[in-house]
Structure 1
């Protein structure tokens, strides 16, 4: 567009007119002064500017292909690069000595080149006098094994991964967004705890570090929360792993405790190192706080990659099914696995491997409460949670730690829509002064409560012994399983024959003076008792639904889980129970 203005106008006036008209018409404008042959000013509005007719103006005379990063953008890239280097190099060197990855290398391991979708809060503390890259805590979203997840990861090269106001804000925003999106959360923890010298502004505030655990509680049961520990997590930092649904620790690297060894010595006088105080071995075997223990960082990632295949991709969804496969061992051998002698030990995993899809058995807390197995597996490609007595450990009697472990596992399966399979072979809850001190009644109550309240499909298999309250905790007929089926080796009773005879007939037997006669009478009573508790009688009286040939157990469970895949099981109308 060409415009001619009166003689005497200055170049500044011509330029102003050209600029205004170009913005108005969305095209190049040339302004001529008087009779001049050459324009005094030429103007084309930059690309993306809307003309008065709503069209985009284009850059004055320039081809868009010629545009590139400006100095301003290049400066931003330099700032991003500086932030992504993390803390001082000397701290990175220490990571290498400890066999640990730098946090951004760790994210590459977890998510690969294309898996990291975006990061939030990279410029946290950028303008601070003591610049702390990302404030030592990274948050964002990524794709992990085909699933969208939120993540947080501490940068141990920045103030030992400690947490302060900006990092706390990022953590809280990530949790809040997970509540809204319904996607799982990964916590990649390597933190020394709260930054004590900066606690004002983040410790006790309404939106401070304490809100972490409030949000953990709100997320609990809505989306899976998975935590992997890469270093010593002390005090407040140690609560995230225990609030998570699943916690992975790394041998000789991870630790968590309410206080550091130095603080423990100051308070109690006890001299103890970090691994003995709260290392992976201690939490796997004694506290039960470690669900899985990894050999190294790569193994930790693989364990989580296997774990998530049993969990829903998103809140309110069911876990995905996989391609089915035959069991690793033939179901034909199931009856041979269960000894004829009801008191003889055997390994329950040998039976499980003849029921579940090959390669699908995934045990949690394998070193804690070992007389009960808690594991994920698949039957015909369908994820199930297995709660099984283990006769190879303590005869399968239920001790307090095992009861608590089972209760928590059942609760998680129910929260994430994972059907439950109970494999029952237990003499019941353990008796004795020590287990009473260890709260056998309280912890046994929690297991029975979890079983009672679970609304996912439940299948109970009486493999052999189902004595005492053990049949209650293991979802027997009174606990609303979709089926109670039994193998021909099954027995259901208040107690085993030996204990029952001693309780009921002790005096009468003691009155028999002849030893051979007494032994013969005792054997007769034992056989009579066994006939009374045998599953054939239980089936005859319809206490149980069916006795199945052991070689068909896999097919039986496959059909029952398929048929009962969708249920409408409602709990009584109340706010919540008070047991857990």
Structure 2
């Protein structure tokens, strides 16, 4: 029988219909729980009508263990490209209704090909993860698939932004691709990530734990730091992706997009003079400083629930994207510890990779003391911040708000670590250590000779006042050129904006090397 175009098109339509639908019954059950289907997620994420699917007809080659009866075109993942706010992005969405979203050979090759395309054209990749893990029936082919994806995640790192959204299970090898990407967003109650599940945990160490306790959104946004943002629903997670991308460039060869925010970059704010207590021992919320400095008070915070003693996130100043890093005196007095060092270091390196200027607000009393921190490797973790700031060649502007003591002062983007411009408020205290600690070291012998406690404490206070007057202020550092100016807090925004404008064409050459050896 002679084939006709009509017949061929009908055959094609049937094949694509099979790939398009997935398991409608399972999708309906999930929808009743507020969980979107893979295609619905893509539709919600992208600008309407912009999605172009690629490789919808791939079909698993393996037929062992009953796969010949289960396999379907598409192989459980939808991949393609489209636009977000008019800008090109690549996206893949795993379909949990097909074999639990399990990753097989062709499933993986499809994702790997998408990553290759994204790198070629220089556009972000968003992975909508909803997978039970490797497709065991495909054996080593499935493992190879993971390896191909991991390899491309690494190749794409620092070249294009990569965002993972965990919208269901992500178990076993499946967790490592999101971990290699730049940002991880999780959905409350419906998503979880872990290498070994509750049953294995129970069998090996006898611990009773459920999916959410082990690897839910709260576990990874508050305790492990694996995830960066948490959403209450699929829709909110996808909106977070759109908002995050608005601050980012398409790739490492571009600058972030300029946005006319309507906020005068030369605006001053006299209220900043009242936000920070002059008493260095009184806490305050650094968010108040940040929001008064950035455009329209809009600050997109990253990892807000983990390592709260340091704040990181994106904002705009004069319409230009900046990465904000700031100590938080309202939590643990703003000290640097293992987690906060890791949090800041990774963010610094992301900003540097994607041409995002870094603005650092400093109020740091030092590194966290104690055996837990020392035995946990605070030396190595703290060194990551020194490394990340020193390595970064993007414009770096530092504002010392209050305390800047010892090695932690250096770690918060001091002039010695390559800061281009360093400003200080009149409240700044830049010193080797706080006045109280310094006096106890310098005048220890002299104070021990005073027998009457009241007189000894009076003399100690005199020494503290003298030390604060001579050293614990911004002026000694200004005299030595370690800071560029002491400024009125009200003028912080215009000072930063003018510095950013001056540094827009900054070029910095470094010694040639394959790569450094960061103390990871």
> TM-score when scaled to structure 2?
0.94
Match of 2:303 in 1: 365
Match of 2:7 in 1: 71
* Residue 375 of structure 2 corresponds to residue 375 of structure 1: no
Match of 1:271 in 2: 208
The offset of 1:232, in angstroms, is 1.3
> Does the 8 Å contact 2:124/2:250 carry over to 1?
yes
* Residue 493 of structure 2 corresponds to residue 554 of structure 1: yes
Match of 1:535 in 2: 474
* Residue 154 of structure 2 corresponds to residue 217 of structure 1: yes
Match of 2:46 in 1: 111
Match of 2:333 in 1: 395
Find the partner of 1:99 among 34, 37, 55.
Answer: 34
The offset of 1:143, in angstroms, is 1.1
Match of 1:235 in 2: 172
Match of 2:259 in 1: 322
The offset of 1:517, in angstroms, is 2.4
> Does the 8 Å contact 2:356/2:394 carry over to 1?
yes
Change (3 A) 1:112 1:324: closer
Q: Which whole-Å CA distance do the structure 2 matches of 1:493 and 1:542 have between them?
A: 14
The offset of 1:330, in angstroms, is 6.6
> Does the 8 Å contact 1:346/1:391 carry over to 2?
yes
Q: Which whole-Å CA distance do the structure 2 matches of 1:520 and 1:261 have between them?
A: 60
Q: Deviations over 1:489-511 (max 9, x none)?
A: 01111100111111222232122
Q: Which whole-Å CA distance do the structure 2 matches of 1:320 and 1:471 have between them?
A: 32
Determine helix, strand or coil for the equivalent of 1:461. strand
Q: Which whole-Å CA distance do the structure 2 matches of 1:572 and 1:379 have between them?
A: 32
Determine helix, strand or coil for the equivalent of 2:419. coil
> Does the 8 Å contact 1:327/1:353 carry over to 2?
no
Consecutive unaligned residues of structure 2, counting only runs of 5 or more, are: none
The offset of 1:452, in angstroms, is 0.6
> Does the 8 Å contact 2:198/2:214 carry over to 1?
yes
Structure with the bigger RCO (C-alpha within 8 Å, sep 6+) is 2
Q: Which whole-Å CA distance do the structure 1 matches of 2:70 and 2:462 have between them?
A: 85
After superposition, residues 174-323 of structure 1 pair within 5 angstroms as: 174-204=114-144, 208-323=145-260
Q: Deviations over 1:475-502 (max 9, x none)?
A: 1120111111100001111100111111
The offset of 1:151, in angstroms, is 1.3
Determine helix, strand or coil for the equivalent of 1:120. coil
Corresponding residue pairs, total: 509
Consecutive unaligned residues of structure 1, counting only runs of 5 or more, are: 1-67
Change (3 A) 1:327 1:233: farther
> Does the 8 Å contact 1:364/1:375 carry over to 2?
yes
Change (3 A) 1:426 1:536: same
Determine helix, strand or coil for the equivalent of 1:463. strand
> Does the 8 Å contact 2:77/2:94 carry over to 1?
yes
> Does the 8 Å contact 1:429/1:470 carry over to 2?
yes
After superposition, residues 497-516 of structure 1 pair within 5 angstroms as: 497-516=435-454
> Does the 8 Å contact 1:168/1:209 carry over to 2?
yes
Q: Which whole-Å CA distance do the structure 2 matches of 1:161 and 1:270 have between them?
A: 28
Match of 1:90 in 2: 25
> Does the 8 Å contact 2:47/2:85 carry over to 1?
no
> Does the 8 Å contact 1:183/1:223 carry over to 2?
yes
The worse-fitting range, judged by mean Cα deviation, of 228-237 and 110-119 is 110-119
Determine helix, strand or coil for the equivalent of 1:221. coil
* Residue 515 of structure 2 corresponds to residue 576 of structure 1: yes
Determine helix, strand or coil for the equivalent of 1:238. helix
* Residue 407 of structure 2 corresponds to residue 469 of structure 1: yes
* Residue 456 of structure 2 corresponds to residue 521 of structure 1: no
Q: Which whole-Å CA distance do the structure 1 matches of 2:281 and 2:230 have between them?
A: 33
The offset of 1:141, in angstroms, is 1.2
Q: Which has the larger radius of gyration?
A: 1
Q: Which whole-Å CA distance do the structure 2 matches of 1:121 and 1:78 have between them?
A: 12
> Does the 8 Å contact 2:109/2:148 carry over to 1?
no
Find the partner of 2:101 among 135, 142, 161.
Answer: 161
Q: Deviations over 1:372-425 (max 9, x none)?
A: 001111111111001100000001111110011000000100011100001000
Determine helix, strand or coil for the equivalent of 1:556. helix
After superposition, residues 55-66 of structure 1 pair within 5 angstroms as: none
> Does the 8 Å contact 2:252/2:353 carry over to 1?
no
Q: Which whole-Å CA distance do the structure 1 matches of 2:130 and 2:264 have between them?
A: 39
> Does the 8 Å contact 1:327/1:356 carry over to 2?
no
Change (3 A) 1:113 1:457: closer
Match of 1:40 in 2: none
> Does the 8 Å contact 1:463/1:487 carry over to 2?
yes
> TM-score when scaled to structure 1?
0.85
Change (3 A) 1:525 1:461: same
Find the partner of 2:110 among 150, 166, 170.
Answer: 170
Q: Which whole-Å CA distance do the structure 2 matches of 1:299 and 1:438 have between them?
A: 36
Match of 1:38 in 2: none
Q: Which whole-Å CA distance do the structure 2 matches of 1:237 and 1:202 have between them?
A: 11
RMSD between aligned alpha carbons?
1.9
Determine helix, strand or coil for the equivalent of 1:134. coil
